Amino acid sequence: MPEKLWRVAVEAPLREPLTYSFADNLERGRWVHVPLGKRSSMGLVLGPTDEFNHKFELKSVQNFDEELPLLHEAFVKWLEWLSEYYVYPVGLVAESARPPLKKNMKPRKSKKAPVIPQMEADQPPILTEEQRRIVESISTHEGYQTHLIHGVTGSGKTEIYLRMIEKTLSSGQSALVLVPEISLTPQLIQRFARRFGDKIAALHSQLTEREKTDQWWSLVEGKKQILIGARSALFCPQKNLGLIIVDEEHEPSYKQDEKLKYHARDAAVMLGHFHNCPVLLGSATPSLESWHNSQIGKYKLHQLKSRVHTTQLPSVEIIDLKAAKEKAQLQGSLLPSWLSTDLYGKLQSTLDEGYQAALFLNRRGMAHIVICNSCGYSAECPNCDIHLTLHGKSHLVCHYCGYHENLKQQCPHCHEGELAPIGLGTERLETDLNRLFPDKRILRADRDEIQSREDLENFISTMEEGHVDILVGTQMIAKGLDFPRLKLVGLVLADIGFNMPDFRCTERNFQLMVQMSGRPGRSLELKDSKSEVIIQTYNPEHESLVFAVRHDYEGFAAQELVHRKALSYPPYGGLTSLRIQSSEHGKAYQLAQQIGHRARALQNQFEPYKGLEILGPAEAPMAKLKNQYRYYILFKCSHKAVLNRFVRQLLGDESWIPPKCRIIVDIDPLQLL
């Protein structure tokens, strides 16, 4: 029998699948072992082909994998879409759809605690009128439809998720629930476990490889019907997928920053499309892309305008730090410079009443930088184009590459002055609060303190059980966490992030303000007590603050979309970035210039590309990171398909790229640092 030709997506950085021969029929979606150079590689069969480049030796499929399941057609189509849309090798995309270990491989270390806790079953609450109406509305839509659930913080979006999952399971299908990051997972898993018991599995970065593998198989074999996880959970080929939920859909952490630079929310929408099942996107502050899609009818909009338990949204007060400092000087205040007398008074009264307070600052460490008081020298990372952050009064750390060194009191540059800390970090807040409130229990939650699953679970349970009086944290505490005794939230310095070189800067600041403002006063216990949010800033008239104080998402979205439309930024146009980098500055610069010339020549040659806007190349805001010199070139276009085709044509097979240089493609980039 003559051998047939098959397209196989091999796990290698190749833009296109390779062709292999095999006598028998191979099913599309079957995992196989194939020769690749001098080694053997895993590959995914994409189907038969008649095309073969006779310049190369035709090799045969060695054998198909006996353990891994056949991927169903909808899932394979989705993997191909990811590769095509994000301009990334299809074999490396497919690699993410396998578990990390063999099915029965024994772990090297003993297992951790169970991934899913056993919880006492709860009684489903009576739905509010708004919740009931939304559940009924979503249920009337059959097949694929993306639903945007826009609800104020504490309005009961999670209960809607639970009811829709109940309906999905009753029809014999499974459900996927995405959360933006691990910090939200423990509370959500507990709530789901009370409702669904042993039907739940979880996948996220804090699990061991053995735990991930066991959870993966429990879903693929249909032993579990609900998957809760971070963005990578999308790649688990669940059995009979019938519902996809993306909680806090606006969160930037849904965007993968390395390798396959996909956005989990957008990928989830397409996964639902290929599986012909509903997709629910939930947020109190939807991304402007999702909001725009709901306004033009692409997504179905559902709104929750009231909190459950009829609890009121907290009052929001802006403190002008310029005026606060003048007031403190007149009064001879001994408070730290970051703490206004107003916020200090609110802290005292909240603690006296026996409630909890949280202070938010999106910066770790004791101080942002250290500067010589004589010559102005500041300590910088030798690998990155950024200042080192002071930790523990004696340790300088780079938060990007991990470089660290001890703080030298004498300036290494002029040998005369001393290095003094400038700026503010969460560690400094904790130190000052311990001095001001020596009898209170203070807990710091940032990536220095919380580095494992156990750390995170302990932090959440300590807060829930009331063993903390003041919580100090970074944006880790701003995302969907629910603490019943939290009455006061203070944003210590809202200005951090106001002036980032990013067109989404104002949107992110607004979302952060509203999300933090939604943390206090959520429980029935605080129904008759006034919860408060204090925002300290040097820019009280900033656009994001003005709307956040009024909890006015729709007003903010309307105004911000006007700005976006005028500049053809998303959602009114597509955006793609190329990051050119090399360990040698000259090579990075030359390649960036070469790409700029190629891009403009290509644009002039083909009529469909005339509407493209080419920006750059220009040095990245962080020009050197992890010993890599970096340049950016941006492409804007009103038609995403044209933009995607342009980028593919520009790069070609990439054989022209010099050694020691890389070009990283980012479709729909969220940051350009």
Q: Across 453-543, where does the E strand assignment appear?
A: 470-473, 486-491, 532-537
* E strand intervals along 198-285: 200-203, 226-229, 241-247, 279-283
* Closest to 249 in 3D by CA, of 151, 345, 106: 151
Amino acid, single-letter form, for residue 37: G
CA distances from 579 to 53, 142, 595, 640, 666 (A): 32, 42, 11, 19, 8
- DSSP-derived letter for residue 475 is G
| Helix residue ranges, H only, 148-287 | 157-170, 185-196, 209-220, 264-275
**Cβ neighbours of 199 (radius 10 Å):** 17
Question: pLDDT tens digit string along 309-367?
Answer: 656 778 889 999 888 888 888 777 789 989 999 999 999 999 999 999 999 988 766 65
Round to whole Å and give the CA distance between 187 and 21: 50
* b/e code 16-45 from CB counts within 10 Å (16+ = b): ebbbbebeeebebbbbbebebeeeebbbbb
Put simply, whether the predicted model's pTM sits higher than 0.85 gets the answer yes
Encoded amino acid at 411, one letter: C
- Indicate the residue type of 42: M
Q: Are 151 and 304 spatial neighbours (Cβ–Cβ below 8 Å)?
A: yes
| Tens digits of residue pLDDT in 503-522 | 888 899 899 888 887 777 66
Domains of the chain: 4-95 (3.40.1440.60), 129-309 (3.40.50.300), 311-363+424-560 (3.40.50.300), 574-667 (3.30.70.600)
Q: With H, G, I as helix, E, B as strand and everything else as coil, classify residue 662.
A: strand
Question: Is residue 444 within 8 Å of 472, Cβ to Cβ?
Answer: yes
Report residue 615 as tokens.
Answer: 């920006």
- Ranges of the chain whose pLDDT falls below 70: 1-2, 54, 106-113, 183-185, 309-311, 364-368, 477-481, 499, 501, 521-529
**The token pair that represents 573 in the structure block:** 């146009």
**SS3 for 428?**
helix
**pLDDT score recorded for residue 107:** 60
Computed on alpha carbons and rounded to an integer, the radius of gyration of the chain in Å comes to 27
**Tokens matching residue 4:** 């047939």
Identify the DSSP state of 576. E
At 22 the pLDDT is: 92
DSSP E strands in 459-599: the ranges are: 470-473, 486-491, 532-537, 574-582
Taking CB atoms within 8 Å and a gap of at least 24, the contacts of 113-117 are 115/201, 115/202, 115/207, 115/211, 115/215, 116/189, 116/193, 116/198, 116/200, 116/201, 116/202, 117/189, 117/190, 117/193
At residue 587, the pLDDT reads: 96
